[in-house]
Structure 1
Amino acid sequence: MDATTLVTPPYVAGPFRLEPFRGLMLAPGRVGNPTTGRAFARPYREVSNRLARWQAKGYLTHDETPALYLHEYTSGGITVRGLVGALDVSRRALHPADRAVLPHEGIHPVQADELADRMAEMRLNPAPILLVHRGSEALRAQLGAVAATEPTHAFTDRSEQQHRIWATRDRETLDLIAAELSSTRALIADGHHRYAAYLRLQRRHAAQGSPVPTDFGLAMLVDQDDTPLFLGPIHRTLVGATMDDLRDAVQSLGLTYEPQDQAGSVAALSATRLAATDGTDWAIIGLDPDSGEAAVETLHRHVVPALPHGPTTLVYHHSVEDALAKARPDAVAVLMPAPSVDHVIRIAEADRLLPEKATSFQPKPSLGVLIRSLRD
């Protein structure tokens, strides 16, 4: 298979299960530290031994008994709180109604295989994938009661993220959480390739019987109605294309192309209007409001294939400033709106995948707050 090919990762079947595990946690001075990544670097088979040495030095702790962790972190003025546990990935959905986890982006199989190999060598899930859902009132009340107690851990890491963590082991609380989560359908916000790697590891060891550590993968579940993640756009530069090329493509599709100044173009940016520039000229691209597509879908599936020349390369940018810095007569910057979370969920439920790098959920937790060992 072509290494550039994107495929749909398999769907995990419900009921949604997030199980307690024995958390590994780096010391606060190691969390968010740029040097921490070295502990998870090649050779990957040595990672477990490195972390064992860190544990002996007090740089890492390993809980004695399993827990479901409520993790709250604050970054850039945004506070996010979610449940961290071992996500059951042992069953595959055979019908759309059975799905418990919804991917919205395709994955590169080779990259997923490499990540699975890496986790197998490390004997770790080094960081949770990020899931979002809309939780029930009962679940919010229960987690609110947990968050009202004294946290098990509270610290500010080296990157200035503030963290509070509650280790929940009370059986009655765990049973209530499990019951409220059983019918959940969660959207993958970040970590599509790690999710696919979890499924590959599970398949590799399925013959060993169940349960085994690879029947689960580390995940953080955030209630978008409680402490929402910010969903930002990812802008594009169409290298090798000109504004004339873009105009011809847009008009050939029956869409609108309106020359405009910079202020007017940026102000017009919305779910159905894009702004484009080559650094000198600006234009507003009007999309079909009745198509049901996200703007990024229309751009990639219709506009880009209709370009008479290029693009030779697509470059992605998380800020307007970076996108505009790349704009030139033969490289058109296209400023994108962010789709709503509900729109992304509807697209995923309709069996559609958004193009690569379509969404940017922020903020993400620092590496090293919660790690899961595959030796447990």
Structure 2
Amino acid sequence: MDFETVAAPYVAKPLTLVPFRAVMLAPGRVGDPASARALARPYRDVAARLTRWIDQRRATSDTAPALYLHEYTSGGMTIRGLVGALDVSRRATTMADRAVWPHEGIHPEQAGELADRMLQMDLNPAPILLVHHGGAALRALLTEVAAARPEWRYLDRTGQRQRIWAIRDDEVLAQIEVHLAAARCLIADGHHRYAAYLRLQEQHPGTPWDAGLAMLVDQLDTPLFLGAIHRTLTGTTLADLTGAARAAGAEVETRTRQHALSALDSTHLVLTDGDDWRTVEPRLLEREAAVSWLHEQVLPRLPRPVDRIAHHHNVDDALSATGRTSPAVLLPSPDFDQVRALVEAGGLLPEKATSFQPKPSLGVLMRPVNDA
């Protein structure tokens, strides 16, 4: 599957998170699928719809702009990060100037659709997720913030436990600004929304569209889990995949299901049609992400291009979609430092290469752009 990268995809240093006045769904509606209708078509009515929800106490609007320290716990994992309006008004001209690093390609048409939708809504409905290796001073500062009583604390409809602190103290905000100035962060989730932010900024410079909602997580403090996204390939066969992998220089072995699944690690991939199983060991995989090797070395060597690539966030889902003409490729979980090194060397991974989890529930913090 071809993908393209958005033009000028790099925001320049200093990394800046700007305070904003958040809109929040009522705790009983956060994560509720029915609440998604507040953000559904017609998009031009969303702003008025949210205003009605605030009047009906189905949502609330904060009293003043703030940066927000947002902590959520899901499935035993606790993630904490700063939420603010990311300044996207400056473009980097050198690699050293880059503050935000995408690691996947995007479809410009999809980014354009998202930009049009946000413009009609006058809203950033959810933050993109950014990860970085924060400094000890910033971690200490945010730990101090988190020691106070949170302004909002609740269990949402999905079972996520939410805690939110509003940071308005000028001195604390100034310290955060200094600590973030030289930060380099990787986009963990929201590549197309990030591209939409850039498009809106280019179309409306000098307006609140100079920023887009983002959550910055310190991967050294409360790390997100980095998992693989597996593939099923419609229009090819296990035999053709096996031949292409061998032609790409990999060692391929026939294994039992149990042996194959147990071999899925940082140096092996697994191919299967549900009946037969192969382990694949590419050469020098420690220098290249497995998903990149698949797309760059194996798929071009197939006798004919696949009809469709489907993506699956867990092995069971991939196997349930597998058949004789839609074999599965099970991929190892990528390594964060490997991904960051690849990106900072100027590379990109294929679309849907990584899965950072868990993500926050929809509706915790939203940014109304007409009130930014």
Instruction: Give the shorter-chain TM-score range.
Output: over 0.9
Counterpart of 2:108? 109
Answer whether contact 1:245 1:309 (CA < 8 A) is retained: no
Aligned residue among 298, 303, 321 for 1:303: 298
Counterpart of 1:185? 184
Give the letter for the 1:345 counterpart: R
Kindly provide the CA deviation profile for residues 8-46 of structure 1, in whole angstroms up to 9, marking residues without a partner as x.
Answer: 451100000011111111110111111111011111111
Aligned residue among 213, 226, 241 for 2:236: 241
Q: Could you say what secondary structure the match of 1:331 adopts?
A: coil
Quote the Cα distance in structure 1 between the aligned partners of 2:109 and 2:149.
44
Counterpart of 1:215? 210
Scaled by the length of structure 2, what TM-score is found? 0.97
Q: Sort the Cα spacing of 1:290 and 1:284 in 2 relative to 1 into closer, same or farther, 3 A.
A: closer
Q: How many residues align?
A: 370
Quote the Cα distance in structure 1 between the aligned partners of 2:181 and 2:296.
36
Instruction: For residue 342 of structure 1, report the CA deviation from its aligned partner.
Output: 1.1
User: Mapping of 1:57-76 within 5 angstroms?
Assistant: 57-76=56-75
Instruction: For residue 215 of structure 1, report the CA deviation from its aligned partner.
Output: 0.7
Quote the Cα distance in structure 1 between the aligned partners of 2:280 and 2:125.
42
Scaled by the length of structure 1, what TM-score is found? 0.96
Answer whether contact 2:232 2:309 (CA < 8 A) is retained: yes
Quote the Cα distance in structure 2 between the aligned partners of 1:44 and 1:330.
40
Counterpart of 1:96? 95
Answer whether contact 1:8 1:105 (CA < 8 A) is retained: no
Q: Could you say what secondary structure the match of 1:198 adopts?
A: helix
Give the letter for the 1:216 counterpart: A
Instruction: For residue 310 of structure 1, report the CA deviation from its aligned partner.
Output: 4.4
Quote the Cα distance in structure 1 between the aligned partners of 2:6 and 2:343.
11
User: Mapping of 1:73-152 within 5 angstroms?
Assistant: 73-152=72-151
Quote the Cα distance in structure 2 between the aligned partners of 1:218 and 1:267.
40
Counterpart of 1:346? 341
Quote the Cα distance in structure 2 between the aligned partners of 1:196 and 1:358.
17
Quote the Cα distance in structure 1 between the aligned partners of 2:57 and 2:322.
50
Answer whether contact 2:20 2:85 (CA < 8 A) is retained: yes
Is 1:250 aligned to residue 245 of structure 2? yes
Answer whether contact 1:238 1:310 (CA < 8 A) is retained: no
Quote the Cα distance in structure 2 between the aligned partners of 1:217 and 1:309.
41
Aligned residue among 215, 219, 222 for 1:227: 222
Q: Could you say what secondary structure the match of 1:375 adopts?
A: helix
Quote the Cα distance in structure 1 between the aligned partners of 2:18 and 2:80.
17
Counterpart of 2:282? 287
Kindly provide the CA deviation profile for residues 173-213 of structure 1, in whole angstroms up to 9, marking residues without a partner as x.
Answer: 1111111111001100000011011111111112xxx3x21
Quote the Cα distance in structure 2 between the aligned partners of 1:326 and 1:122.
36
Q: Could you say what secondary structure the match of 2:332 adopts?
A: coil
Give the letter for the 1:268 counterpart: A
Instruction: For residue 330 of structure 1, report the CA deviation from its aligned partner.
Output: 2.1
Quote the Cα distance in structure 2 between the aligned partners of 1:269 and 1:155.
38
Instruction: For residue 309 of structure 1, report the CA deviation from its aligned partner.
Output: 4.0
Counterpart of 1:325? 320
Percent identical pairs in the alignment equals 58
Answer whether contact 1:4 1:108 (CA < 8 A) is retained: no
Unpaired runs of at least 5, structure 1: none
Answer whether contact 2:267 2:285 (CA < 8 A) is retained: no
Give the letter for the 2:74 counterpart: S
Counterpart of 1:269? 264
User: Mapping of 1:24-43 within 5 angstroms?
Assistant: 24-43=23-42
Answer whether contact 1:235 1:323 (CA < 8 A) is retained: yes
Answer whether contact 1:103 1:187 (CA < 8 A) is retained: yes
User: Mapping of 1:194-205 within 5 angstroms?
Assistant: 194-205=193-204
Instruction: For residue 329 of structure 1, report the CA deviation from its aligned partner.
Output: 2.2
Query: Higher mean Cα deviation, 364-373 or 290-299?
Result: 290-299
Over 4 Å off, 4+ runs: none
Query: Higher mean Cα deviation, 266-275 or 149-158?
Result: 266-275
Instruction: For residue 64 of structure 1, report the CA deviation from its aligned partner.
Output: 2.3
Give the letter for the 1:277 counterpart: T
Q: Alignment RMSD, CA only?
A: 1.4
Answer whether contact 1:104 1:352 (CA < 8 A) is retained: yes
Q: Could you say what secondary structure the match of 2:233 adopts?
A: strand
Kindly provide the CA deviation profile for residues 85-127 of structure 1, in whole angstroms up to 9, marking residues without a partner as x.
Answer: 0100000011111100000111111111111111111111111
